[in-house]
Structure 1
């Protein structure tokens, strides 16, 4: 049936995306693959929130598991109850993925926390963060990247790539979860025989 097949397809698709988000967020916590930056508090707030780990990672994995193993109950009422539960799971996963996407976009725009050579000497700052609303975003001016940070090494590229991956993957998760919510609502309305009817030959 259409609803069940679509549900399982979405669930299977979400699993690798959740692991990509968890990996990207884990790497954001370890600039230059060194743990002392995290232990010393020299990692951006958006990375420390770990939304790729618990939101687009753990919560989406739980939802994906429900999508894959669900829809197996027999009987019209049991099937609709299962679909109602999947609507709830979809909404939670959708909210988690959307929140992760928003946090990732914020971290991407603000730039990394790094050891910056300011007018008052070396200090841990966010030198690429927008100071005024009319200022250009550093993402569109790569000439600012090399001189922005002294340490960690290549932290600007590190943050741009990983936050971009996290934002794009969580946005795709949110789209799939929204589509699955509509799919589950159709399952509630039309029941388990939705798309099962065949046109008889004339």
Structure 2
């Protein structure tokens, strides 16, 4: 089933994206590179879920490792191979969705409200539309942490891009493995022949 070339190529593409996802998610936990926001629970839920670390990071890396192990063995392990690929697809898809939610809901920050300063998500989508298309709202939205809007936008965008690439690579890898298993000589020899009497 595996010539090894496809799995090595996918592995070389997935490992850097997994590292990028883990770093981006770790940075999301420390706005302005300060740990007090994390200890005081002033970090968005989407960052706290750490899907970039455990899903697009560790699970995808584990799948890449298992791709290589399965490809060194016999062709009888097709189902395991497909299972590992599907695991990587699910992990990358989960990270992509969580990152997209974090991006659209905006950062958690100390902001001015009618009751004074309070922690919340002032840029959550409302009647005026998404804050992503209104850059004039960004500088005045949050009092603390400073520049948290740009911080969250940049890092969640990086997470979405990296996990989106992982999805593309894994789906292509799955399709390649399926096509290769169907085009093996043993598959093609299983043709029905009409017997002559």
* TM-score, length basis structure 1: 0.87
2:156 maps to: 163
Instruction: Say whether the 8 Å CA contact 2:2–2:71 is kept in structure 1.
Output: no
1:87 maps to: 82
Question: How well do the aligned residues superpose, as a CA RMSD in angstroms?
Answer: 1.8
Superimposed CA distance per residue, residues 75-122 of structure 1 (whole angstroms, 9 cap, x where no aligned partner): xxx3141x3211100101101100100010010001000000111100
2:144 aligned with 1:148, yes or no?
A: no
Give the secondary-structure state (helix, strand or coil) at the position aligned to 1:115.
strand
Instruction: Say whether the 8 Å CA contact 1:26–1:53 is kept in structure 2.
Output: yes
In 1, Cα distance between the equivalents of 2:3 and 2:24?
32
In 2, Cα distance between the equivalents of 1:66 and 1:186?
20
Q: How far did residue 180 of structure 1 move?
A: 0.9
Give the secondary-structure state (helix, strand or coil) at the position aligned to 1:124.
strand
Give the secondary-structure state (helix, strand or coil) at the position aligned to 2:88.
helix
What are the equivalent positions in structure 2 for 1:1-150 lying under 5 Å apart? 3-73=3-73, 78-81=74-77, 83-132=78-127, 135-150=128-143
Q: How far did residue 3 of structure 1 move?
A: 4.5
In 1, Cα distance between the equivalents of 2:90 and 2:71?
22
In 2, Cα distance between the equivalents of 1:191 and 1:11?
23
The answer to which structure, 1 or 2, has the higher relative contact order (CA under 8 A, 6+ apart) is: 1
In 2, Cα distance between the equivalents of 1:67 and 1:47?
29
Cα distance 1:193–1:25, how it changes in 2: closer, same or farther (>3 A)?
Answer: farther
Q: How far did residue 2 of structure 1 move?
A: 7.3
Q: List structure 1 segments (4+ residues) > 2 angstroms apart after TM superposition.
A: 1-4, 67-70, 186-194
Instruction: Say whether the 8 Å CA contact 1:79–1:192 is kept in structure 2.
Output: no
Question: How many residues are aligned here?
Answer: 187
Structure 2 stretches lacking a partner, 5+ long: 188-197
In 2, Cα distance between the equivalents of 1:97 and 1:80?
27
Cα distance 1:12–1:193, how it changes in 2: closer, same or farther (>3 A)?
Answer: farther
Structure 1 stretches lacking a partner, 5+ long: 195-202
* TM-score, length basis structure 2: 0.89
Give the secondary-structure state (helix, strand or coil) at the position aligned to 1:158.
helix
In 1, Cα distance between the equivalents of 2:4 and 2:69?
10
